[in-house]
């Protein structure tokens, strides 16, 4: 029996100890992530992925605010600020009726509250709709005359002398030829050359001729309106036969004065509405 047993405590190397196992290389995952936190590989489908809906920047910031609002320290700080401000506001507000509470320690605040609305709101309420728009040249009007504000008078318009010459020429041509403007030889001979047009195209097509004046021939009326810029103002005259009436702007010699300071008379509003540019 003793011949079979080993005579020393040496342990023979096993078969497995002599075997060399291959080294297993750990897999590495390299995902490029941009500064906004979105993987470049999944950028196209990122908005539709569930992780994008959970880990969006808004949700992260919202969660931070929620955590802070539930914090006892934050709640205590907010309550303390509210009590401090409420204490001093209450004393300043009630001191007008109970002067004795002013002896309590508090921060004095100027409680001068004006019950009136701001000035721009008061001005809007006091502004009349009839004179809301500044039409230029000291003239004001409502929304139906607002188009005139786009053609404000300039200083290089007609003079009162030019208007006097126009009145004299119209008194010669209009009773003789009527609304047929081609034979108006005296009007054509005027040096500043007023434009003759229909109502539809008077401003929309010839608005740049307001500096030299526009005579408007109406289809169903013997009245011939005249619109121009004169002396830095709007000038609106109405001619019929030998009669002339001035409704806006300087009053030339030989014309009846129907002007109203700063406003457009109702008698001439239909004419201005007819010549208003459309579109």
- Domains of the chain, residue spans: 139-274
Span 172-191, average pLDDT = 93
Residue 228 is predicted with a pLDDT of 95
Q: Is the pLDDT of residue 91 over 80?
A: no
pLDDT cut 70: percent of the chain above it: 72
Rg (CA), the chain: 45
Q: Distance (Å, rounded) from C-alpha 200 to C-alpha 275?
A: 6
- Give 246's strand partners: 237, 257
Q: Is the pLDDT score of 150 beyond 80?
A: yes
Q: Is the predicted pLDDT of residue 167 greater than 50, yes or no?
A: yes
Read off the pLDDT band of 84 (50, 70, 90): confident
Render 30-49 in DSSP notation, one character per residue: ---B-TTS-BGGGTTTGGGS
Burial 67-85 (b: 16+ CB within 10 A, else e): eeeeeeeeeeeeeeeeeee
- The pLDDT of residue 62 is above 70: yes
Q: Would you state the structure tokens that stand for residue 101, as one six-digit string? A: 């509470």
> What is the average per-residue pLDDT within 34-63?
66
Average pLDDT over residues 88-115: 69
Quickly state the pLDDT bin for 139 (edges 50, 70, 90): confident
pLDDT at site 19: 57
For 120-131, what is each residue's pLDDT tens digit? 666 666 667 777
pLDDT for position 92: 74
Give the integer Cα–Cα distance in Å for 277 and 279: 7
Predicted TM-score (pTM) of this structure = 0.56
Distance CA 111, CA 127 (A): 31
């Amino acid at each position: 029996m003793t011949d079979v047993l080993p005579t020393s405590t040496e342990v023979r190397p096993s078969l497995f100890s002599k075997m060399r196992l291959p080294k297993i290389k750990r897999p590495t995952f390299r995902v490029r992530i941009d500064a906004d936190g979105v993987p470049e590989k999944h950028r196209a489908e990122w908005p539709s992925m569930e992780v994008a809906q959970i880990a969006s920047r808004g949700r992260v910031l919202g969660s931070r605010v929620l955590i802070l609002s539930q914090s006892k320290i934050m709640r205590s700080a907010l309550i303390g600020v509210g009590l401090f401000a409420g204490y001093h506001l209450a004393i300043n507000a009630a001191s007008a009726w109970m002067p004795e509470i002013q002896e309590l320690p508090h921060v004095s605040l100027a409680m001068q509250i004006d019950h009136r609305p701001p000035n721009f709101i008061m001005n809007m309420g006091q502004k009349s709709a009839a004179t809301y728009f500044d039409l230029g040249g000291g003239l004001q009007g409502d929304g139906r005359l607002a188009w005139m504000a786009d053609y404000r008078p300039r200083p290089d318009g007609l003079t009162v002398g030019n208007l006097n010459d126009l009145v004299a020429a119209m008194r010669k041509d209009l009773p003789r030829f009527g609304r047929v403007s081609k034979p108006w030889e005296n009007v054509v001979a005027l040096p500043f050359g007023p434009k003759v047009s229909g109502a539809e195209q008077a401003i929309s097509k010839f608005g740049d001729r307001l500096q030299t004046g526009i005579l408007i021939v109406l289809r169903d009326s013997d009245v011939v309106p005249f619109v121009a810029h004169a002396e830095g103002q709007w000038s609106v005259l109405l001619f019929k036969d030998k009669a002339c009436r001035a409704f806006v702007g300087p009053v030339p010699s030989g014309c009846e004065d129907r002007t109203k300071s700063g406003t457009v008379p109702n008698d001439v509003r239909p004419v201005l509405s007819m010549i208003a540019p459309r579109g």
